[in-house]
Amino acid sequence: MSDAIGGKNDSSRQRGSRDQTGPHDRGSEDVTGEAICPYCGVGCRLVARARNGRVISVRGAADAAANHGRICPKGATLAQVIDTPDRAIAPLIREDRSRPFRAVSWDEANRFLADRLNAIIAENGPSAFGFYGSGQLDTEAAYCAARFVKGGLKTNNTDSNSRLCMASAVAGYRSSLGSDGPPPCYADIADASVILILGSNMADAHPVTFEFVRAKKRVQPETFIIVVDPRRTRTARFADLYVQIRPGSDVAFLNAIAYFLVTRGLIDHRFVRESTTGFDELADDLESQNVRDLAAVCGVEPGALLTLADRIGTAGRFLSFYGMGINQSAAGVDKNNCILNLHLITGQIGKKGAGPFSLTGQPNAMGGREAGLLKDSLPGYRRVEQDEDRREMEDAWSLPPGSIESSPGLSAVKMFRSLAAGSLKAIWIAGTNPMVSLPDLNASRVGLENAELVIVQDCYYPTETSDYAHVILPAAQWIEKEGTSTNSERMVTYSERVLDPPGEARPDWRIFCGVAQSMGLPGFDFPDAAAVWDEFRQLTRGRVCDQSGMTAARLRRERSIQWPCPNESGPGAQRLYTDGRFPTPDGRARIFTRRHRTPGDPVCEQYPLVLTTGRLAAHWHTRTRTRHVELLERQEPEPFLEINPTDAVVRAIQDGDIVEVRSRRGLLKTRARISTAPAPGTVFAAFHWGDRFRVYASANALTPAELDPVSDQPEYKYCAVEVRACTIERGDDTAAQDI
């Protein structure tokens, strides 16, 4: 499956485009530069040292608020992911998938894309095109993509893989608090008295932030740590109180906690009266529910729920962290609303050591949202449905009134469904590998097979997704480009360029601008990344995510500033909503009444177990980077299925056996790992592996494409399966040899 054109890389580093500034490598002289880590949303700032065109060391930046010099094994081994044999180094084109790729110049690639996109749009209209980006793109790239697609091509069909991890957190914040954006900051860990970690294996997925929690517990052992998760993870093992709820029962669990808070009078009535609406409706609804029924749904004794509620209700400072266990659900927005309810009814928001903190998955998932990459957003957290917001952007982009579509575009999963149905003809995929990460992979694959034009922009080639491409666009990656990212705590960090990109690889923002200019679209002649940033940050003036005070020059001096930061000489703000006012029409936050819903892929006699999927400490997303790091590969060399001994014994499965996992949609063949981490009835698999590792290696062949009705985020945490012992047949592992 590999293709020599893109897969070959000259280890001496051919020089790429020269249009960037920064302390880039000057031969044998050592050069250092700082950049945000390209993996998780903790957003550690790292210091890279390079010599002779290679990164020779990576360490944490001591003065970075996100990490204070700390670093995890993925960040520490970044030097090994840059000069790999599979770096994409030249634009590649093939007219149809039966032909081999040919390497072309950027001019030819841009002309080809301009002609093909113009033809498809002329024949089918702008909505025949979709852009699917990523939280890996820096803000400059996300802004250029949003401007190109929404303002230039005139379709709102832009979405990001943030749809798969953060969309429900966004919709939860927007509906409850009036705007997206986590209210607390990492420094709040030091002041919290009770920390609730819900649906997040922070120890593995956000390791440096979890280190701050551990350090806090060491210094102040009276800090009470509660972990709620269906799987007894490394995070759970650290807890003072671990609650193993059933998969999919979070709303029932959170309602039970709210019930006890209300009935025991652990409510901040003043905050509720002055800063919220909806409390009476919630209290009435909770009273009408039987708390024993709620406890039975989540499989927890009512006494444990009462203890937990007392801890939260009497906490001086209550901080919660939550992640994919909450968001990756067909009821993800409801779950987010219920967590926010707990903070609103107890007044634990907008003050030191308190608040609801949704852990962002990727380094710039936040920045993409701020820049307008999602299907319903415009730069500065504007919304396509709002007339005034569209008018402001049309003015800013010198477009005639009515140029920007007023209805949201297609979300991630719906784009692939529309490709399969034929209403979407072309897709541009940048910085992500959906042929491993999308749910119900077999159905999603049909979409790409059916597409007339598939453009894949990535720093690696080949990937599972590029197998379907007509065009490959080589992107510069971490430390090869300058750009800006926003981490989980709203900290905007500038990343420097230390190396030249390999071959013809370019920064993502320049790739979008090149095609836009070839299509004759005005406004894409930015001289450099700083000019892109300065245009974007001025569009945030007066918005919740105000970054107008962070000039490009200031970010290059100060490196990291937290938003909102409206003043060029003033600091950023650590916390949101400190005055008890929220960006809603009446200034009050909304307390919502939500009810438990049964997950849509129910267990039955044929599929009696619940599969929940997730991440491992050693790998990142679809392993395009981490598979190059020997240390990480040694830790987790292959996919596995965690299964409780009770479920294993009735199926005659031994530890290490190869098992076949079937759902209503697909098949996974993997190795059994017998473990008490999942409760009986639940199994766990990581989603990192794809078809290029081995046929039937993808956990997402099993997962359903059921979406949250508000956020369109897919359900990855509740999938009915059956497991049985089997063998990997001859031929199943041939794909592994290609990578």
Angle at 461 between CA 457 and CA 463, to 5 degrees: 90
Q: Does 208 bind ligand SF4 (CB under 6 A)?
A: yes
Among 31, 37, 120, 455, binds ligand SF4 (CB under 6 A): 37
Stretch that binds ligand SF4, among 66-74, 186-194, 229-237, 383-391 (CB under 6 A): 66-74
DSSP class per residue in 621-683:
TTSTTGGG-HHHHHHS-S-EEEE-HHHHHHTTPPTT-EEEEE-SS-EEEEEEEE-SSBPTTEE
Among 31, 35, 44, 61, binds ligand SF4 (CB under 6 A): 44
Q: Does 189 bind ligand SF4 (CB under 6 A)?
A: no
Q: Which is nearer to ligand SF4, 72 or 113 (CB)?
A: 72
**Length of the chain counted residue by residue:** 739
88 in Cβ contact with 455 (< 8 Å): no
Least spacing, CB of residue 59 vs ligand SF4, in Å: 10
Q: Which is nearer to ligand SF4, 74 or 375 (CB)?
A: 74
Q: Does 75 bind ligand SF4 (CB under 6 A)?
A: yes
* CB crowding 107-123: b at 16 or more within 10 Å, else e: eebbebbbebbeebbee
Q: Which is nearer to ligand SF4, 68 or 597 (CB)?
A: 68
65 in Cβ contact with 486 (< 8 Å): no
Least spacing, CB of residue 5 vs ligand SF4, in Å: 31
- The residues facing 485 across adjacent strands are 493
Q: Which is nearer to ligand SF4, 74 or 470 (CB)?
A: 74
User: What torsion do the CA atoms of 342, 345, 350, 355 make, to the nearest 10 degrees?
Assistant: -10
- Helices 250-263 and 332-345: crossing angle in degrees, nearest 10, is 20
Q: List binders of ligand SF4 among 328-387 (CB under 6 A).
A: none
Q: Does 324 bind ligand SF4 (CB under 6 A)?
A: no
Among 31, 47, 48, 71, binds ligand SF4 (CB under 6 A): 71
Among 13, 74, 506, 694, binds ligand SF4 (CB under 6 A): 74
Q: Does 248 bind ligand SF4 (CB under 6 A)?
A: no
Least spacing, CB of residue 200 vs ligand SF4, in Å: 13
User: In the complex, which residue's CB is closest to ligand SF4?
Assistant: 75
Q: Which is nearer to ligand SF4, 176 or 486 (CB)?
A: 486
621 in Cβ contact with 437 (< 8 Å): yes
Among 6, 130, 182, 207, binds ligand SF4 (CB under 6 A): 207
| Residue 283 φ/ψ, nearest 5 degrees | -60, -45
Q: Which is nearer to ligand SF4, 70 or 590 (CB)?
A: 70
261 in Cβ contact with 313 (< 8 Å): yes
Q: Does 629 bind ligand SF4 (CB under 6 A)?
A: no
DSSP for residue 246: P
Check residue 421 and give left, alpha or beta (phi > 0: left; psi -120 to 50: alpha): alpha
Least spacing, CB of residue 206 vs ligand SF4, in Å: 6
Q: Does 426 bind ligand SF4 (CB under 6 A)?
A: no
Q: Which is nearer to ligand SF4, 66 or 117 (CB)?
A: 66
Q: Helix or strand or coil: residue 278?
A: coil
Calpha distance 508→486 (Å, rounded)? 17
Q: Which is nearer to ligand SF4, 8 or 234 (CB)?
A: 234
Q: Does 515 bind ligand SF4 (CB under 6 A)?
A: no
Calpha distance 159→490 (Å, rounded)? 21
Q: Does 42 bind ligand SF4 (CB under 6 A)?
A: yes
Assigned token pair, 558: 């100060």
Q: List binders of ligand SF4 among 657-716 (CB under 6 A).
A: none
The site for ligand SF4 (CB under 6 A) is made up of: 37, 39-40, 42-44, 67, 71-72, 74-75, 207-208
